[in-house]
């Protein structure tokens, strides 16, 4: 069944405390290759049947209005995965 994947990340200009915590933990563990970590959400919306343009448009609206908080988050990707 096709799945629409929606990726939501904290806005770049905002501090991401979860990401900062992981980033600090990686440094303490000696894993210095990674200079920054940011943590967002990945939504998988399962669609019964075919993903029409209409359903994709609906998914975009849902992503903007319901799945993300536009004050602090950006929808960084919407893609259809079979």
Can you give the binding site for a copy of itself, defined by CB under 8 A? Answer: 1, 4, 7-9, 19, 22, 25-26, 29, 31, 33-48, 55, 58-59, 62, 66-67
Taking the complex as a whole, the smallest distance from the CB of residue 42 to a copy of itself amounts, in Å, to 4
Rg (CA), the chain: 16
CA distance 69 to 8: 9
In the numeric block, the tokens 């980033």 are attached to 23
Taking the complex as a whole, the smallest distance from the CB of residue 65 to a copy of itself amounts, in Å, to 10
Taking the complex as a whole, the smallest distance from the CB of residue 28 to a copy of itself amounts, in Å, to 11
CA distance 43 to 28: 31
């Amino acid at each position: 069944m096709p799945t629409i994947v929606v990726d939501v990340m904290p806005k770049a200009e905002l501090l991401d405390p979860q990401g900062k915590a992981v980033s600090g933990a990686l440094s303490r563990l000696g894993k210095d290759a990674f200079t920054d970590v940011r943590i967002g959400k990945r939504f998988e919306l399962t669609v019964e049947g075919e993903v029409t343009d209409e359903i994709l448009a609906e998914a975009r609206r849902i992503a903007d209005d319901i799945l993300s908080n536009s004050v602090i988050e950006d929808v960084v990707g919407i893609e259809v995965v079979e």
